[in-house]
A and B are shown apart, each in its own frame.
Chain A
Amino acid sequence: MSDRPVSASNAESLFQLYRDKSPEKPGIESKRKTVDLNGRDRYGFKISASFVDQEKYNTWWDQYSRYLIRRKLKWVKLMNKNGFEADEDSMPTKFPTRSEELKRYVRKGIPAEWRGNAWFYFCKGPERLSKNKGLYDNLCAKMDTLDEVNLEAIEKDLHRTFPDNIHFNDYSGEESLMIGSLRRVLRCYALYNPEIGYCQSLNFIAGQLLIFMDEEKTFWMLVIIHEKLLVDVHTMNLEGVSVHQGVLLLCFRQYLPLTWSVMREHDTINDDFLVNIPSLGICTTSWFMSLFIGILPVETVLRIWDCLFYEDSKSIFRISLGIFKLMEPQFVKTPEDELYHLIQSFPRTILNPNDLLDVCYRKLNSISHLKQQEIQLCKQYVINYRAKYKNLKHEDNNLLSNQERLKLLQEGIQEFGKPRVLKGLRWNSRLNKQIRKLRVESEHDI
């Protein structure tokens, strides 16, 4: 059996806005005092390490913590209304069935102390866990058999994961419990999914999950995240990263025409943007790879995760569009050589999660019309496009016969004429010309 120690995570005590169950309803003031503002947020992150100064943070937190208390009370009422026994101090493991109302609640934020359970529940984690009892412990037992390359890569990153968080680095000089958990989760996941193994950025995703749930649940969350949200993103060739960037660019074209036109004008995007992801993609790559960790302030990332785990992969795109929507007024007047700096620094200023989520989900906003089906079709399109273009580009590619190549080309051309869900989805003229040219050549060959 594994020698897995007691979980390092204890959500209950970590983020309680309420200290004790007081006989009478405690006033907001007394509740807020229990938050340790001694240079750290309630998740143990150093505030000075975040992207805003302490004073600004405190001003925001003063307001936002009131909001959190209001939301928590509403959640308790929602739970009770749906027949779940819950009060301010309980730690529910089951939540109401999915509904428009619940979705609204999730988008307004899950109480921090319920997050671990709620994320796991909404992702259907309990089912996975009960169907695979003992799997994690078995993996733990043989985790040292992981190949050298992955072992080394994990080891290099353990102490470079949230070194500013008290749970990861308690300055005792000893390795924290959390690092131990992180090591096991990453090794087990690498064993479980050899196609991914260990990829840098998984350390942050797993690390943040560990703040909210035990390591076995974190392991299953990693499994689910890669099935549901980040398909192929962390694989060996990182093809999914490029595909997602392609889809995002098409979304810009459709939903943020002004931003798109500036991108085009600045020549940051060429016609072959789906095949050769433009430099702009360097900035947004990490948004997908780490699910916004390190990109946005902690609280904002957590609110986004609430939505991601309740909903599906379209949320990643909506959020990305939302960030650009908020940035648009600055974006359009920023000179080309400062754009990358803006894209990197602007998200760090989104301290109030509601600013971002409003843009993403407000009915009147076009971004809120982005549907999952659209993303799926768009993604398939980008995948096919990239695959075809790559095949055509490598003329010495012997894997395809001439007939097969011709068929592929014809499919490409036929597809070109079809109406698409996203207006942006069509072969661009330059590539189309190239394809026609290649087609003539291959007809010639036959």
Chain B
Amino acid sequence: MADLVTQEPRFAQFKLVLLGESAVGKSSIVHRFVTDSFDDLRESTIGAAFLTQTIQLDERTTIKFEIWDTAGQERYKSLAPMYYRNANCALVAYDITQESSLDRAKSWIQELQKQASADIVVALVGNKLDLEAERKVSTKEAKEYADELGLIFKEISAKTGEGIKDVFHSIASKLPVEEKLNSATKRRRNIDLNRPSTNNQESCSC
């Protein structure tokens, strides 16, 4: 019996916030992940954009990411608490060809550690790996920093797609799926209780 229960498919949803300096490729990363495409001509993000994508973590576990892709300019920081409130995970991006963007990423990570929920899963990613020739940030430097803080670390390229799936997978595997499932079941029950009333309204033709 217990075995049967554990074999049931599992579905859990998590909020991910994407942070990092302007023009490091946050929107491109998320578009590569969500639509597996890359567009050289991407508009700068105003405020934040919302996207979702599901991945298969293992045979029976599906994870849905609710992704908040944010504007990168420094001053948007004052709105950031609104973005990372209740976030389960954060992807903090920098551009391997821009040294300053790693500093900015570090300051985001500091802020998350101070302000976001304590169990937030954080990944530091260096984007634009396709521009290896123009590299300014060494892998070693960024990796050491990430290791020290126990963060997921990957170098990726939104343009070629390299490493994108991996990083979301790594994040997913660190998320507290069981915990989320329990609370979600409760919530779904609540919703189910409310559902019949709206359905009745629609179907009732008397």
Contacts and interface: CB of A to CB of B under 8 A. Distances in A.
Nearest to A160: B44
Nearest to A284: B47
B61 interface: no
Interface of B: 13, 22-23, 41-50, 52, 66, 68, 71-76, 78-79, 81-83, 85-86, 191, 198
Contacts of A341: 50, 52
Contacts of B46: 200-201, 204, 285-286, 289-290, 294
Contacts of A337: 13, 66
A279 B73 contact: no
Contacts of A204: 43, 46
B82 A277 contact: yes
Interface stretch (A8-16, A52-60, A216-224, A237-245): A237-245
Given A282-B48, A344-B49, 8 more contacts: A149-B74, A159-B41, A161-B43, A199-B73, A238-B75, A276-B81, A282-B68, A285-B48
B22 A153 contact: yes
A279 B45 CA distance: 17
11 contacts: A149-B74, A153-B73, A157-B23, A161-B44, A162-B43, A200-B44, A242-B78, A242-B79, A277-B82, A285-B48, A337-B66
Contacts of B74: 149
B81 to A, nearest CB: 7
A13 B79 CA distance: 42
Nearest to B86: A279
Contacts of B49: 344
Nearest 6 pairs of A and B residues by beta carbon: A163-B41, A286-B47, A285-B47, A160-B44, A286-B46, A201-B46
Nearest to A202: B46
A335 B191 contact: yes
Contact of B198 (A278, A290, A333): A333
A156 interface: yes
Nearest to A157: B44
Contacts of B71: 200-201
A25 to B, nearest CB: 41
A239 to B, nearest CB: 7
A199 B22 CA distance: 11
A279 B85 contact: yes
